[in-house]
Amino acid sequence: MSDLLDIKLVIDKDCQKLNVVITNNERNEDVEGVIAAIQGYANKKIPMIPAYFKDSVVMLPQRQIIRLYISNRKVMVQTSQRIYEVKMNLRELEEILDPDRFVRSSQSEIINLRKVKNFDFSVVGTIGVLLENGERTWVARRRVRDVKRALERGGNDGYKN
């Protein structure tokens, strides 16, 4: 894996609650970082998004969402597998989406920063966005500042999902 740490998963059918054990020869900065990351994850309850496909409802983890957008007056959610419909508007979704992961790119679209392949800053006043599924979109001029702020905050912090 890496020189910093090894991860071992033990599946125990009798286990009732997630248990994390950190083993090291001393309590140091690396251990503190791992503890902080685990605590941050545990304290941050990120709701799943109810999405509709044909006659079924699926609860989508936010990490699977590439983008949310409006098409024919309906809010759609795109994942790598398919496109779903959502019964909330973009403003409501903005309230429950993880702000470290999602940013409003236009009046009709929210993108997952961790699903962006690259940003194109060559066009003055806007930003071209290439998503990991190959689709291209644009950041509206009035949203450029928001996207730049999100990137400075570390929206794409190197974690893939």
Beta strand pairing status for 116-120 and 74-79?
unpaired
pTM, entire model: 0.68
d(CA 112, CA 6): 29
Query: Which two structure tokens, joined as six digits, stand for 89?
Result: 């508007």
Kindly give the confidence (pLDDT) of every residue in the chain, 161 residues in length, as a single tens digit, with 9 standing for 90 and above.
Answer: 456 678 888 889 998 888 888 888 998 888 887 887 777 666 667 788 999 998 899 999 898 999 999 999 999 999 999 999 999 999 999 999 988 889 999 899 999 999 989 988 887 778 888 899 989 998 888 888 888 888 887 654 444 44
3-class secondary structure, 125 = coil
